[in-house]
Structure 1
């Protein structure tokens, strides 16, 4: 992006269409005589362009978006021409002292932020100085206020986690106990179905190891024969 003022377009046309002839270099740099690291709104910004040649120079500004803005041209006899071909400006001051070209922003505003360049046409070539950054300090970000809802969110979350932990621990344990109770009940029912009505046999069923079915029938037959012999003897 670029400002479409005629003076700036002329400068760029010279830069691209008029190459240097003898290859001589030009020393040019921009600095501020005062500390501008902590600029404030309404403060006067002063910049100086130092060169080693007594030639005319222009001041331009590049904003945050990259757009170039023409400010002023100062010729070799110290006459200033501001944007719009004006001799004076309500926002800027410009002057020249030998090889030093000065620019002052009378009252710095957020719209004046950017990088300032000094441009000089020497031997049919445009020479740009390194940019001098001029920005207002960034305001420190304030942390968001802590609300009551955010302070109670963590204890509530901890309670939910404890609840789920209890579920994962006690549900399997309760299921295991239930299975044990069911197995015990089935065992008791099976034992009651297989147990004989004779109290002696119930005692044997509960205490003696299980015997094969043939052995059990043989034992019952032997017991009946003994009882018959006893009756005959009487």
Structure 2
């Protein structure tokens, strides 16, 4: 039954061409807000709620005998006074902002009350302005100081360029000379450690004179 009523309420709100009274009002957080229904009768009343940018929701059903049924929020209370029904939201919060609808079924016909809108009041805060105090003073540079700085920088750049050129030229030469010197030292050490040849002893041995030979005054002649 509630789904049928909600469906017809949506159809009525989207298809009706009559101007529906919509009272928008801002409410402070924590206040108790009374929302009255424009319908006057002693029948039961259904309350619906549509939050901001959301779908329609069922809140409660208030019977003709003054009982609240199917209540979805403990902060909601409903009462009847002189043939009119009103809804009270206790401790209004952000989630209670939106549009409220009352629907009544009378003589097998559905009657829709006016739309009542209530929104939470937004508290605007102004940012504090902070002033930063700087005690340091900036001294402007004169033309003479600028020229002296530029000349000093150019002289330093020239010196650095000369040093880099000298390193580029003399570096490889020094490296090649040291490599040659090292090679000469290694070759000389290896040459000095090489073992010398020994003369054969058989060259200096005394030759044996045969027995049939004799020497006279150092002259060897056969016998």
Report the TM range for the smaller structure's normalisation.
Answer: 0.3 to 0.5
Could you say which structure has the larger radius of gyration?
2
How does the TM-score come out when normalised to structure 2? 0.46
Give the strand-richer structure, 1 or 2.
Answer: 2
